[in-house]
Structure 1
Amino acid sequence: MHIFFTGATGLIGKHLIPFLLHHHKVTVLSRNKTKAHVLLGHNLEVVSSVTDVDLNNIDVVINLAGEPIVNKRWTQTQKQIIRDSRIKLTEQISDAILKCSTPPATFISGSAIGYYGRQDEPPVDETTYTIHDEFSHQLCKDWESAALQAQSDKTRVCLLRTGIVLSKQGGALSKMLPAFKFFLGGPIGDGKQGMSWIHIDDMTQLILFIIKHPSLYGPINATAPTPVSNKAFSKSLGKALSRPAALTMPSPVLKVLMGEMSDLLTTGQYVIPKKALAHNYRFHFTDIDSALGSLIK
């Protein structure tokens, strides 16, 4: 197969590309061709624009590009940058697919569990329609809508609602480790908010699984089947590092430091990957202790 990949130099892409290159031809979109080759190798083609690729000759599109959501404070300008980096590119890809006479059979497009907005303790899955309408939901809803424009009897669209991806290299875990290593880690607020996580190995294998199973389409939760509370996650991370996890970060303090973006940490959701489980995807890491233990050695 020939796979077109956007966001390939990100956390997930850097892990997934080596698996794809074993069996497939890969073309990636990047503004910096040199950087892409350094990070991903030279056995792939790099283009700088969607228009540089004839999607009639592409079998699968994987679209994971987007401005990091937690790098900068959420000013109105930054919110627009976050939206544009996801939605405008996705619209370009959907438009290009619709113009094809032989379009890609599969379009896997990024989204996030932020689609559900903040939720209480009852778990949510792909059939949940009781949504808290806030920035994360609006962003994911519009991002998904842009991808769904490409859906047809020739192209299935898969919306990857990704949770907190746990990896040795980058991502949320790398931001948490310093505080915990220096005995400053612990729950945020009351620690009851849900943390829906997924190990990077399952993240990559689930995408490969989706490619191979054409019966999967629409929203797909990319999370482990056992979400945990922030308090339980903190305790598990402390255990993996042989550190206490007793210091609590008060929510109001985080609000002052981070503004609206702090909602991502002080609220959460318990997300179940109902579709993946129904299609018999077997998760390699189903409990947080084994997941963190495999990453922290």
Structure 2
Amino acid sequence: MRKNIVISGGSGFIGQELIRTFRKEGHHLYILTRQAADRLTPLSDIHFIQWSQKDLKALSAELPDHIDCIINLSGAPINSGRWTRKRKDLILRSRLQTTDTLIRLIEQAKIKPKLLINASAVGIYGTSDSATFTETSTSENGDFLSHLSYQWEQAARKAEQFGVRTVYARFGIVLGKVGGALPLLNLPYRFFIGGKIASGKQWLSWIHIDDLVRLVVFIIDNQEIKGPVNFTSPNPTTMQLFGKTQAKVMKRPYWLSVPEPIIKIMLGEKSLIVTKGQRVLPQKALNAGFHFHFDTLDAALVDLLKK
């Protein structure tokens, strides 16, 4: 059945992959964008809405009365620039402001959307070399990524009071051919200088972009799923094993070691993205019967790195 799907943040890596799949399935898409609508190529099944210059009434007028799903991916990039106080404020504020606008749209809608899928991250659990996290684990553990994800989910949680099924998509490291973390992680190996990053013992909870998109579709079609959902493979790995698997698949050496102090000097507080991690399992997806096409790292990297 054709659905009306609203996406904010559709210009990013994940958003583009979702749009591609939804178009193939014949859904009608409403993309909330900050670009001028007349600069975007008009398409019969995609309605671009420049929402930054519209009040709620004007914005609502461009949306259908009946919305099956809102997917909120909007927010300033986490990986751009050093995490200065100003930059961190922008990263957080951009997410909260967008989410607040969507909540107000939901509040005034006569017919409430059936579902809100709001992006989040496994960083909400904090970092650990020994613990294993599922959706029932305690969240908000002090560092910036944990605080960011927690605040973002709290902002989206207001949709629940209007009877909207709400899912918090806690993304792990997303692997794709042309987007996500993989092209950057591959770069040292392409120059034959790949190797251990920091201790190598830090956990990396990853997911193939195809499985991420399939899980979003699965959630839309399975109305019993709500609350936090971990978007990670059932087989997380350590950074060291990840690097060795990369080297094997790319037929490159694994030899250079980059100590954690050097990474901290280079990246500052943002270094925790690569020097720290968390072992996260997608328990809710597995319990609901979702089947991962790429549940092992070898399979995922062979698929993504093949010529």
Fold conserved between structures, TM > 0.5: yes
Please, which runs of 5 or more residues in structure 2 have no aligned partner? none
Q: Does 1:30 align with 2:39?
A: no
- Structure 1 stretch 183-192 or stretch 108-117: which is displaced more? 183-192
- 2:168 corresponds, among 159, 162, 167, to 159
Structure 1 alignment gaps of length 5 or more: none
Q: Does structure 1 residue 246 correspond to structure 2 residue 249?
A: no
How far apart, in 2, do the equivalents of 1:185 and 1:289 lie? 17
Compared with structure 1, are the counterparts of its residues 257 and 209 closer, same or farther at alpha carbon in structure 2 (3 Å cutoff)?
same
| Counterparts of 1:130 and 1:223, CA distance in 2 | 16
| Aligned residue in 2 for 1:122 | 131
Find the counterpart in structure 1 of residue 48 from structure 2.
46
The Cα of 1:55 is off from its aligned counterpart by 6.4
Q: Is the 8 A contact 1:202 1:285 kept in 2?
A: yes
Q: Secondary structure at the match of 1:115?
A: helix
Deviates more, 1:48-57 or 1:149-158: 48-57
Q: SS in structure 1 opposite 2:301?
A: helix
Structure 1 position 42, deviation (Å): 5.5
SS in 1 for 2:78: coil
Any conservation in 2 of the 1:164–1:195 contact (CA below 8 Å)? yes
Moved runs in structure 1, 4+ residues, more than 6 A?
A: none
Taking the TM superposition and a 5 Å limit, the aligned residue runs for 1:161-200 are 161-200=170-209
Structure 1 residues 240, 110: closer, same or farther in 2, change over 3 A?
Answer: same
Report the counterpart of residue 13 of structure 1 in structure 2.
Answer: 15
Give the match for residue 58 of structure 1: 67
Question: 2: distance between equivalents of 1:226 and 1:137?
Answer: 22
What letter is aligned with 2:33? S
Number of residue pairs the alignment of both structures matches: 295
Q: Say which SS state the counterpart of residue 186 (structure 2) adopts.
A: helix
**Whole-angstrom CA distance in 2 between matches of 1:98 and 1:153:** 7
* Equivalent position to 1:91, from 92, 95, 100: 100
TM-score normalised by the chain length of structure 2: 0.92
Equivalent residues of 1:55, 1:96 under 8 A apart: no
Deviates more, 1:93-102 or 1:263-272: 93-102
Aligned 8 A contact 2:82 2:267 in 1: yes
Percent of paired sites with the same residue: 37
Aligned twin of 2:151? 142
Provide the C-alpha distance between the structure 2 equivalents of 1:56 and 1:147, rounded to a whole number of angstroms.
21
Task: Name whichever of 28-37 and 85-94 sits farther off.
Answer: 28-37
